[in-house]
């Protein structure tokens, strides 16, 4: 099978050296993603497009899904290639791909011709279109706004029938620009801002401030891994957890109530500015939007930013909340965000919207900064590739693993709804219930504790995490289905 990848429009207008560099990065990213499934896949690039070839035709749907999530691609086409012999032979090839859909349809043929031939592209369109109309019982040929378009390319002695065109993500290839550190809480804003920097070509590391409790950290690790797995082009990045419980406690006991929100953000920027140096990141990323909450007025944002000399990027700064939610829905993080555990320990009763530096500095003079230093020193960094295995270690325990159910077990598919839709789980003679992992505990039926329920996630990592968590909560008869 063969795919042709066309570049994001902004890539094509760059200078020759820059364009070559961007295309090289895109080619590397595509190869990195697809070689997880086919080690022999060929990804070859040139000035105008990238060709992808694989002998594993059964992977067409998988490759299509993966290519659609790689930044830098404007669109890509699934191509059926054949040896060019004559225009009549091209007609027969077109019938194989489009014969059924042309019956009773209004259609047009578009031919792109490259190389030496004794006919023009228009000649080819007329000949092929006339033959297809007669042989496929088509209703009519209409060059403008046809019901069916038959795209054909003739390149020297090769012919291509374009059987499918899929829109890409656009943007620049991830890794083609500098690294950034995204401050991620797992909500709508921070997941969307992280996605936006990734799709603009920035290698995006994740930084989470643990304000208290494992549940929130686990949720953020899950959504960070999801973003990386889907849009990160398999590039290695880090997930950093900074323990901020003691920092929060110090703020709660030492800082005036109205100033707590701004000071907490200042402490986060101070800590993140130190962490980013070790990663070689050139900017911090936040999900802040002007006036969305009290700490995000222009006055407060200016006060917050004064604690660092580093560049702070705010991709959502002028976006409406509903627009942010719409993007979260599109990229698949809405369900994570809606069910994300929240920590509400630092909420001012009457938060300031116009913080003043003298007041803020006075409040911070009571703060023991050795606690902030300790939090940074105890920051934990893991590869995003192993972040879910890291979560699993937090729930060590005896979880039954079942490869072949023999009783009346119920299998619960806890994967993301997008993954379930693309690859439904079918188990002969067994009921399969779909409950996404981010709503698992909320929708758990306690009345059914006597029947064995097996969690399924594909690789067995997330299912073990959630099975251990539920068992630790006192639920019974829970295992993992690992066929």
Q: Which residues participate in catalysis according to the annotation?
A: 457
- Which neighbouring-strand residues pair with 42? 53
Decide if 436 contacts 461 (C-beta within 8 A). Answer: no
What six digits make up the tokens of 315? 């991709």
Enter the tokens of residue 372.
Answer: 């902030």
Strand partners, 204: 180
Q: What's the number of CA atoms in the CB half-sphere (13 Å) around residue 69?
A: 21
Q: Which of 390, 395, 401, 384 is nearest to 456 (CA)?
A: 401
User: CB of 207 within 8 A of CB of 181?
Assistant: yes
Q: Do 129 and 152 meet the contact criterion of CB atoms below 8 Å apart?
A: no
Contact 238, 253 (CB under 8 A): no
Look at residue 307 and give its three-state secondary structure: coil
Q: Is 193 strand, coil or helix?
A: helix
Q: What are the Cα distances from residue 203, in Å, to 25, 33, 43, 176? A: 12, 15, 22, 8
In contact, 482 and 401? CB cutoff 8 Å: yes
| Residues whose CB falls within 8 Å of the CB of residue 115, separated by 6 or more in sequence, listed in order | 154, 155, 156, 157
50, two tokens: 């990238």
> How far is residue 112 CA from its own chain's centroid?
34
The two tokens of residue 363 are 């409040």
Distance separating alpha carbons of residues 136 and 40, to the nearest angstrom: 38
**168 membership: H or E segment, kind and range:** strand 158-170
Nearest to 414 by CA among 388, 387, 386: 388
């Amino acid at each position: 099978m063969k795919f042709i990848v066309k570049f994001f429009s902004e890539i094509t207008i760059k200078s020759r050296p820059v364009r070559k560099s961007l295309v090289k990065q895109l080619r590397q990213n595509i190869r990195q993603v697809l070689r997880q499934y086919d080690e022999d896949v060929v990804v070859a690039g040139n000035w105008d497009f990238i060709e992808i070839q694989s002998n594993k035709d059964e992977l067409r749907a998988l490759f299509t899904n993966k290519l659609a999530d790689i930044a830098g691609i404007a669109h890509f086409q699934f191509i059926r290639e054949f040896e060019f012999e004559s225009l009549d032979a091209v007609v027969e090839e077109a019938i194989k791909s489009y014969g059924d859909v042309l019956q009773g349809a209004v259609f047009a043929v578009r031919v792109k011709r490259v190389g030496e031939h004794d006919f023009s592209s228009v000649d080819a369109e007329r000949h092929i279109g006339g033959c297809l109309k007669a042989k496929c019982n088509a209703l009519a040929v209409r060059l403008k706004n046809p019901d069916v378009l038959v795209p054909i390319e003739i390149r020297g002695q090769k012919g291509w029938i374009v059987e499918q065109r899929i829109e890409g993500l656009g943007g620049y290839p991830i890794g083609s620009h500098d690294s950034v550190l995204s401050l991620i809480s797992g909500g709508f804003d921070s997941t969307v801002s992280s996605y936006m920097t990734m799709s603009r070509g920035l290698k995006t590391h994740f930084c989470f401030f643990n304000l208290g409790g494992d549940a929130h950290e686990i949720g953020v690790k899950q959504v960070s891994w999801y973003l990386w797995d889907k849009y990160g082009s398999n590039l290695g990045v880090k997930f950093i957890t900074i323990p901020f419980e003691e920092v929060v406690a110090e703020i709660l006991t030492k800082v005036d109530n109205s100033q707590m929100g701004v000071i907490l953000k200042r402490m986060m920027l101070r800590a993140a500015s130190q962490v980013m140096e070790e990663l070689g990141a050139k900017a911090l990323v936040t999900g802040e939007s002007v006036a969305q909450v009290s700490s995000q007025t222009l006055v407060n944002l200016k006060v917050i930013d004064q604690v660092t000399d580093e560049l702070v990027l705010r991709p959502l700064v002028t976006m409406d909340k509903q627009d942010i939610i719409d993007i979260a829905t599109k990229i698949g993080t809405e369900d994570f965000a809606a069910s994300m555990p929240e920590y509400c320990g630092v909420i001012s009763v009457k938060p300031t919207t116009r913080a003043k530096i003298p007041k803020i500095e006075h409040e911070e003079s009571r703060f023991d900064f050795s606690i902030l230093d300790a939090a940074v020193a105890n920051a934990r960094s893991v590869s995003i590739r192993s972040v879910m295995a890291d979560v699993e270690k937090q729930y060590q325990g005896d979880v039954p693993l079942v490869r072949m159910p023999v009783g009346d077990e119920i299998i619960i598919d806890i994967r993301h709804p997008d993954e379930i839709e693309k690859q439904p789980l079918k188990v002969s003679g067994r009921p399969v219930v779909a409950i996404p992992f981010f709503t698992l505990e909320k929708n758990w039926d306690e009345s059914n504790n006597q029947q064995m329920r097996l969690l399924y996630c594909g690789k067995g990592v997330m299912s073990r995490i959630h099975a251990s968590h539920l068992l630790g909560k006192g639920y019974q008869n829970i295992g993992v289905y690992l066929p």
